[in-house]
Each structure stands twice: as C-alpha cells, then as structure tokens.
Amino acid sequence: MTVSVIPVGPQHPVFLEPFQLKLVVEDEVVSEALPRFGYVHRGLEALVVSKDFRQMTRVAERICGICSAIHGMTYCRAIEKLLGITPPPRAQMLRLVWSELHRMHSHLLWLGLFAEAMGFESLFMQIFRIRETVMDILEQTTGNRVIISVNVIGGVRRDLDAEGADGIRRALKKVAGDLERIRPVLVDDYSVRKRTEEKGILAKERAYELGAVGPVLRASGISQDIRRTGYGAYGELDFEPVVESGGDCQARCKVRYRELFQSMDLIRSGLDRLSDGEIQTKSKEKPEGEILVRSEQPRGEVVYYIRADGSKHLQRLRIRTPTFANMAALMDLLPGLDLADVPLVTLSLDPCIACTER
C-alpha cells in the first residue's frame, strides 16, 4: 500500500474560498485529513478598538457576504438587548422577511455550487438563473444585491410599501414553480443519486457530539433550529424544522431544498402579518453589560458574545459562526472516503471560510 499526502487547496476549482486540506491517502482512500486555515483571517473582532458600536453593524454584515443580513440582525439584536430597547413590530417582521430572502439566496447558491461540484454544469446554470429572481427582489427592496445593509440598531433602515410586498409575492411564486421543475433532477436523477447517496454519512449521535449545527445536524435526524427560540418575529409564526434522517450528502441536499419552501412560507405569512407603524426605535444610550445572542443562519447557529462598558467602543465582540462549529464534523467525515468524493462531501457541509476565520 502506498501512502501519500495530497494537498487540496488553497486554490481549488470546487472551493469558492481559499483553505487547504492536507489529505493522507492510502491508494485512493483518505486515511487522515488536516485542515489549514488563515487565508481569509482578517481579525475583524478586534476592529471594536477603532470602530464604534454603530459602525460595527457594517463590519458584522461583512463577516460573510452570503449570510450578511442575518449577521447584521444578530449584532443589532445583541446591542438592542444591552440598550434595553425593542424594535417596533413592523421592523421585526421586515427583518424576518429579509433574513429569509437571504437564506433563500444562500441555499440556492449552495445548490448551484453543489451541482457544479458534481460536474453537472447545466443544473448549476439553471439554479443560478432561479437565484437571480431572489437577487432581483433583494435589489428592488433594499438597493443592493448581496450586502443589503438593512439592519440598524433599533430597527431597519428601509420600509417596504404594498407594491414591494406584492413584488416579493409574485417573485416567490415564480421561484416556487422553477424549483418544482428541478426537483426531479435533484432528488430522483440516477447520476445525482449515485454521486450523493451514502456519501459522507454523519450518524445522529456523532453529529450531536461533534457540535454540528444547522442543515448538517438536521440532515442527521436531529430537530434543532434556533429560530424555534422565537427571537424577533419568529415567535409569531408557526413552523417546524426540516429534518431528514439519512445523514449523507443527499439528505443535506434535501434539507436545504425543503428549507427553501419553508422560507417562502415564512416570508408569505410574514408579509400577511405586516403591521403598520414605525420602523426604528431610536436610542441615544451606550451599551453596557455582557450578553450572548443566537440566531439561525443558512448554515446554522451563530453565537454573538458582546461585552461593553458603557463607552462608545465595545470591549469585546466574539462571533462563533456556524461553519466554525461544522469544521469538526467535516474532519470527522473525511477519513474513509474515496479521494474523488472529498470535494463533494466537503461542499455538502456548505463551508463558508470567510465566516470560519472572520
């Protein structure tokens, strides 16, 4: 048996972002995997030294472009709790709508990249075409495509008029129809199933023990969703976490596919319940105290820790991002895989290196 070490990355066609996996390979089977990070590490937690707590909202949004709305929202929620203010109900509901739109664009991006990792170029193009509808609504309602910057401390920056809400409803109908059309390919197609079924199985107990979060944990059969804690406007809406039991790449794909429909339901009922009123509660206070706040991102649970001493600058900001927690699960999955499956299984966890390294 020949043992060799293969470095995958930092630049690799399948990974959008630079990170390296050192794979110890015996013939064609991976026996050990060691990651190397730091190519995206910026040290933005330390920016609290030079930027005040309001400016940090913009930094929090730029931790990761794919889940920026939810990063911004979580940061604002933490500061609002420290200030002792509550955003008006309309702002809470608008935050929910934009967060779920962001979740949709993230999941569609992932589905597209997943198709590309399988070598299914035309499916990748189709999914990105569907995704553009979501990007168009984001641009119409917020003015930007990716980093929408709608969250401010105390509420949201922009309001949504009736025309905008109707636009969202119409676009969602179109997206739902388009997604139904690709379902047979994603779920039933022979080559897709051959590529994804029983690849990279993460057992239920092991997933929990390793601290996996989000769709990865739910695909392994554990019903855990931080939105169920009812933060923001999520407490008013009724929904059940999407759970699959397979624990393989196919299950993770199905979870994200079904979550797209769940997000659409949440947006629709959110728009129906949108109350009139203000969109921002203003406060001139400075934050003081210590707090831990959690949200559900497209990739799972994000945890913000903030310590503030009543001055303009925060003392400490610490962000535990979802992919950071999922990395341990990834390193547990890789040994035993065929070398050819490594990119696909790695991608099936939806690694966001910009989040991981901050």
Partner 1 sequence: MGMMKHLMVRSRRRSLWMMHFCLGGCNGCSIEIMAALTPMYDLERFGILNTGNPKHTDVLLVGGSVNHRNRRTLKNLIDQIPAPRLIVAVGTCALTGGIFNEAYNIIGGANRVVDVDVYVPGCPPKPEAVIDGILSGLDKFEQ
Partner 2 sequence: MLESTSLVDADRLHSHAGNLKENGWRLVGMTGVAREGGVDLFYHFDRELKMTNLKVETEEDETIPSIGDQFPGAWIHENEIQDQFGIRFDGLDPDYRRLFFLEENVEATPICRGVSARVSKEPGK
Q: Which chain residues interact with partner 2 by CB under 8 A?
A: 34, 37-38, 41, 43, 45-46, 48-49, 208-212, 224, 226, 228-229, 290-292, 294, 301, 303, 305, 307, 313, 315-316, 318, 320, 324-325, 327-329, 332, 357
Query: Residue 64 Cβ, how far from partner 2 at the closest point, in Å?
Result: 16
CB of 59 or CB of 134, closer to partner 2: 59
- Residue 24 binding partner per list partner 2, partner 1, none, with a CB distance cut-off of 5 to 8 Å that depends on partner kind: none
- Residue 157 binding partner per list partner 1, partner 2, none, with a CB distance cut-off of 5 to 8 Å that depends on partner kind: none
CB of 39 or CB of 208, closer to partner 1: 39
- Residue 125 binding partner per list partner 2, partner 1, none, with a CB distance cut-off of 5 to 8 Å that depends on partner kind: partner 1
Query: Residue 186 Cβ, how far from partner 2 at the closest point, in Å?
Result: 30
- Residue 186 binding partner per list partner 1, partner 2, none, with a CB distance cut-off of 5 to 8 Å that depends on partner kind: none
Query: Residue 142 Cβ, how far from partner 1 at the closest point, in Å?
Result: 14
* Residues lying near partner 1 in the complex (CB under 8 A): 10-14, 16-18, 38-44, 46-47, 50-51, 58-59, 62-66, 68, 109, 112-113, 124-125, 128-129, 131-132, 135, 145-147, 352-354, 357
Would you mind telling me the total number of residues written for the chain in this entry? 358
**Residue 20 backbone phi and psi in degrees, to 5:** -115, 140
- Residue 318 binding partner per list partner 1, partner 2, none, with a CB distance cut-off of 5 to 8 Å that depends on partner kind: partner 2
The closest alpha carbon to 292, from 280, 284, 282, 302, belongs to: 302
CB of 113 or CB of 219, closer to partner 1: 113
Query: Residue 46 Cβ, how far from partner 2 at the closest point, in Å?
Result: 5
- Distances from the Cα of 257 to the Cα of 72, 108, 207, 260, 262, angstroms: 25, 8, 20, 5, 9
- Residue 301 binding partner per list partner 2, partner 1, none, with a CB distance cut-off of 5 to 8 Å that depends on partner kind: partner 2
Residues 6+ apart with CB under 8 A from 181: none
CB of 173 or CB of 318, closer to partner 2: 318
CB of 40 or CB of 291, closer to partner 1: 40
CB of 42 or CB of 312, closer to partner 1: 42
Could you count the other beta carbons within 10 Å of the beta carbon of residue 315? 15
Query: Residue 260 Cβ, how far from partner 1 at the closest point, in Å?
Result: 17
Distance from C-alpha of 98 to C-alpha of 90, rounded to nearest angstrom: 12
CB of 101 or CB of 210, closer to partner 2: 210
Query: Residue 198 Cβ, how far from partner 1 at the closest point, in Å?
Result: 27
- Cα–Cα–Cα angle for 161, 162, 163, rounded to 5 degrees: 90
CB of 33 or CB of 271, closer to partner 2: 33
Maximum distance among all Cα pairs of the chain, rounded to whole angstroms: 70
Residues 6+ apart with CB under 8 A from 81: 291, 293
